[in-house]
Amino acid sequence: MFGFIPRQAARQFEGGMKPDPDQRKPLIRLATFADIPALQQLDSLCGLNAWTPDVYKGLILSDSCEVTVWINDRTVIGFCAVRSVCPDLELLKIGVHPERQGEGIATALLHGALSDAIKAGCHECFLEVRWSNNRAISFYKKEGFEMVGIRRKYYRAPVEDARVMRKKMAFTATDVDGATRTNTGRA
């Protein structure tokens, strides 16, 4: 993702997931075109904005975006879509099948995306979330996001304000003079 990790390559994030060529055990990998119908179904099941196949294709092909899927028994259970404009990362969408929520799947997907983004040089992650989406807001707060703004009437059907949330990400970088600086990720 973000130009330096080979696309289509199944990979596991930190957290102990072992490679599984049959994809029977849970794993997180980059989305492919073959996943698009499942992603659209998750959009609908999760009450998310419906993205067309072309939107998904564009994100999957883009070097500045990453779409990852959480797979169990060859079925797409959850997904996360991000776009990086370094040093910022934008969380575009995250969703988990309603019957599998509360199992830590979104946490694993988000951590994978943030870990990749940090490696690519991102320092902050931003997102918009519907004002009334308490479940997602609890999730983001637990992950260290804080509210930093409001976008009035940002959403349609129904019209609703968006909370803008930000997380400062932990990173260690070496300056041009060789000095190492560390951001703890705390706001």
Ligand X SMILES: CC(C)(COP(=O)(O)OP(=O)(O)OC[C@H]1O[C@@H](n2cnc3c(N)ncnc32)[C@H](O)[C@@H]1OP(=O)(O)O)[C@@H](O)C(=O)NCCC(=O)NCCS
CB nearer to ligand X: pick between 156 and 181: 156
CB nearer to ligand X: pick between 8 and 49: 49
Question: Least CB distance from residue 129 to ligand X, whole Å?
Answer: 5
Strands ordered across the beta sheet of 88-96:
27-30, 65-72, 75-85, 88-96, 124-130, 160-168, 146-155
Which residues contact ligand X (rule: CB under 6 A)?
Answer: 46, 48, 93-96, 101-107, 129, 133, 135-136, 138-139, 142
CB nearer to ligand X: pick between 93 and 167: 93
Question: Least CB distance from residue 123 to ligand X, whole Å?
Answer: 21
DSSP state, residue 8: T
* Cα–Cα distance measured from residue 16 to residue 104, given in angstroms and rounded to the nearest whole number: 14
Residue nearest to ligand X (CB): 106
Question: Least CB distance from residue 111 to ligand X, whole Å?
Answer: 9
Question: Least CB distance from residue 56 to ligand X, whole Å?
Answer: 15
* Cα–Cα distance measured from residue 108 to residue 113, given in angstroms and rounded to the nearest whole number: 9
* Cα–Cα distance measured from residue 71 to residue 91, given in angstroms and rounded to the nearest whole number: 20
* Cα–Cα distance measured from residue 187 to residue 184, given in angstroms and rounded to the nearest whole number: 9
Task: Note the Cα 87 to chain centre separation in Å.
Answer: 16
CB nearer to ligand X: pick between 29 and 97: 97
